[in-house]
Amino acid sequence: MNFTLRKWNAGDLDSIARHANNYNIAKFLVDQFPYPYSRKDAEEYLALIEEQDPTLVFAITVDGNAVGSIGIFPQSDIHAKNAEMGYWLSEEYWGRGIMAEAIRQMVEYGFDTFDITRIFARPFGSNTRSQRVLEKAGFVQEARFEKALYKNGEFIDEVVYAIRKRRERY
């Protein structure tokens, strides 16, 4: 399915509020991602990311409508050569190959834009779909931490996946 990654804009407000308001998305994300997800939450999110330079978080769009988000977050201090990746996609677009390709594009953007050598993601152990999409995008599992997360009243495993910049590039 065709999609694009682009900067978020104020016109995305209603679309993000509609697509992000889904328990099946929120249950696999940090608690900062609320459920229910309101228009006010969308306003706060867009205000938070609008001034980024370089851009860290992109809208995933289909037919011009924002239906998901993907971001890369460079780390600091002794972790400065690393960046964390986070993402979500509207449930109505799951299983169409969008996210694996969006991740590939963000990996390329991340290595080209930031002085990093490793990009990692930390899906929940119970989120096997996210683990599979990372593997399809070339990530490898580096670690599994048993019952390291606490979400919705239960302990959940945390899995760390990463991809490294090819040696000849650094």
- pTM for this prediction: 0.94
**Positive/negative CA dihedral, 56, 58, 130, 123:** positive
Mean pLDDT score, 135-151 = 98
Domains of the chain: 4-169 (3.40.630.30)
pLDDT at position 166 is 84
Distance CA 60, CA 45 (A): 15
Label the pairing between strands 65-74 and 82-89.
Answer: antiparallel
Residue-wise pLDDT tens digits, 68-112: 999 999 999 999 999 999 999 999 999 999 999 999 999 999 999
Are 160 and 122 in contact, with CB atoms under 8 Å apart?
yes
Q: What is the mean pLDDT of the chain?
A: 96
Q: Nearest to residue 91, comparing CAs of 71, 67, 70, 69?
A: 67
Residue-wise pLDDT tens digits, 29-76: 999 999 999 999 999 999 999 889 999 999 999 999 999 999 999 999
